[in-house]
């Protein structure tokens, strides 16, 4: 018996992996995509080779390009980049008088406003609207391959978080419940900034000692930033914070880390920004976090260095020297 109607917006790698997981868990799930040719091909082959090559999606998964029909459900996953969240919220509002709870998966801030996802949801859906954030150390391809994965689902209330944990949980996907919405978002967003730094570190061949120090001090910057919003420090030390930071800084599948390596190799950043079509969440996030830290008078030297490399033409090697030559201080 099908237990829960939970649909997924976004037929990219993450949306497809989550939709297949949900269908396998005996939920009634539809994967929505805007490209009718893509959806037709996935229906025919059971594969989304553009994003998850040679992976068979669950046979119980359904597909659609009809946006109106997918909004009639118990919960709705939005697996699209941060820049399109507001657009989809507006569409959902027009279709249903009482929208279902949402599960947001993007790790970043809205580029136009530098607002976190919960702020965008509050503006569009109201402050009392129920939603959740799914975040943690996850690569879509590994979830699609059914490799062991742990993550966090933070929701506006405990009941929703626990319900979603039961809906997503499988023998290879283990979610943990939380109500620290802001803390989970901070980890997911800031790790993109530090992944760029990690890519630069690796690209300059600075060694394992430097990488370990970078990840540790990046986590300290996360904790400092989280204090602004009274987040739980345990969240920053958990899967959505430290866990995601370690994964994104150490694995070449990270787009932000790869971008950092290209910078170390002499990438023309201005040209890249003009021509690149792939979303690098860390670029916009660096701008937003740098300015918020400046506003609240918080010292975040790694974030500042990445910002200066991206926007002030600071040579990456010079950035490393400046970080190492900062005035000495107690560790904590």
> Which residues belong to the active site?
191
Query: How is 285-314 classified by DSSP, letter by letter?
Result: HHHHHHHHHHHTT---HHHHHHHHHHHS--
Distance, CA of 229 to CA of 299 (rounded, Å): 16
Phi then psi dihedrals of residue 104, to 5 deg? -100, 135
Strands of 119-192 (E only): list them. Answer: 131-135, 149-155, 173-178
- Own/partner contacts of 124-128, CB < 8 Å, gap of 24 or more, are 124/86, 124/89, 124/90, 124/93, 125/89, 125/93, 125/99
Q: Which residues contact 312 (CB under 8 A, 6 or more apart)?
A: none
Q: Alpha carbon 202 to chain centroid distance?
A: 22
**Backbone CA torsion sign across 236, 253, 116, 156:** negative
Cα R_g (the chain), whole angstroms: 20
Q: What angle do CA 173, 157, 31 make, to 5 degrees?
A: 45
Which of 82, 90, 74, 65 minimizes the C-alpha distance to 9? 65
Phi then psi dihedrals of residue 76, to 5 deg? -135, 125
């Amino acid at each position: 018996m099908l237990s829960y109607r939970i649909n997924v917006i976004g037929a990219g790698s993450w949306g497809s992996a989550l939709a297949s997981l949900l269908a396998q868990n005996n939920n009634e799930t539809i994967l929505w995509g805007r490209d009718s040719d893509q959806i037709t091909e996935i229906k025919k082959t059971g594969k989304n080779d553009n994003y998850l090559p040679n992976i068979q999606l669950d046979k119980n998964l359904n597909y659609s390009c009809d946006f109106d029909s997918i909004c009639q459900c118990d919960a709705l996953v939005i697996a699209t980049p941060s820049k399109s969240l507001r657009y989809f919220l507006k569409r959902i509002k027009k279709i249903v008088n009482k929208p279902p709870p949402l599960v947001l998966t993007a790790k970043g801030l809205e580029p136009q406003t530098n607002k976190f996802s919960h702020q965008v949801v509050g503006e569009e859906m109201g402050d009392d609207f129920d939603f959740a954030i799914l975040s943690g150390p996850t690569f879509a391809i590994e979830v699609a391959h059914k490799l062991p994965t742990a993550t966090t689902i933070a929701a506006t209330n405990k009941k929703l978080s626990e319900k979603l944990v039961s809906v997503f949980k499988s023998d290879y996907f283990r979610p943990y419940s939380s109500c620290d919405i802001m803390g989970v978002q901070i980890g997911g967003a800031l790790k993109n900034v530090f992944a760029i730094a990690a890519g630069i570190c690796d690209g300059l061949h600075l060694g394992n000692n430097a990488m370990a120090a970078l990840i540790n001090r990046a986590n300290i910057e996360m904790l400092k930033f989280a204090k602004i919003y009274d987040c739980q420090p345990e969240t920053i030390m958990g899967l959505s914070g430290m866990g995601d930071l370690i994964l994104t800084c150490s694995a070449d599948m990270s787009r932000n880390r790869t971008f950092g390596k290209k910078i170390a190799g002499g990438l023309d950043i201005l040209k890249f920004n003009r021509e690149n079509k792939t979303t690098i969440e860390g670029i916009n996030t660096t701008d937003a976090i740098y300015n918020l830290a400046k506003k609240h008078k918080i010292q975040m030297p790694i974030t500042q260095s990445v910002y200066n490399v991206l926007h002030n033409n600071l040579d990456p090697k010079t950035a490393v020297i400046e970080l190492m030559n900062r005035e000495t201080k107690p560790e904590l």
